[in-house]
Amino acid sequence: MENITKDTIIGDILDIAPETAPAFLNIGMHCLGCPASRNETLEQACAVHGVNSDELLSEINQRIADLKK
C-alpha cells in the first residue's frame, strides 16, 4: 500500500483505502464525492475545514495499518 502524506490527493486516498472515508466524514468532510474535493490534497482539505492535518494524517495511516493486520 502507498505511503499517505499531506500531499496525497483525497481521491487517491479513497481509491487506495476506501475504508478511510469515515475519518474524513467524522471531521465534517461530507463532500467526498465532489470532484473538487477529490482533487484536493489532504493538507488543502484540512485547511478548508479547519482541521489539523497532522492529526488526520495520523488517523488515516493508522486505519490503513490496521487493515494490514
Write the CATH number for 17: 1.10.3910
Tens-digit pLDDT string for the chain (69 aa) = 568 999 999 999 999 899 999 999 988 888 887 888 788 999 999 998 899 999 999 999 999 998 877
Alpha-carbon gap, residue 31 to 61, rounded angstroms: 21
Q: What is the DSSP string of the chain?
A: -PPP-TTSBHHHHHHH-GGGHHHHHHTT---TTSHHHHTSBHHHHHHHHT--HHHHHHHHHHHHHHHH-
Q: Indicate whether 5 belongs to any domain.
A: no
* Confidence (pTM): 0.86
Domain holding 61, by residue range, is: 10-68
Q: How many domains are there within the chain?
A: 1
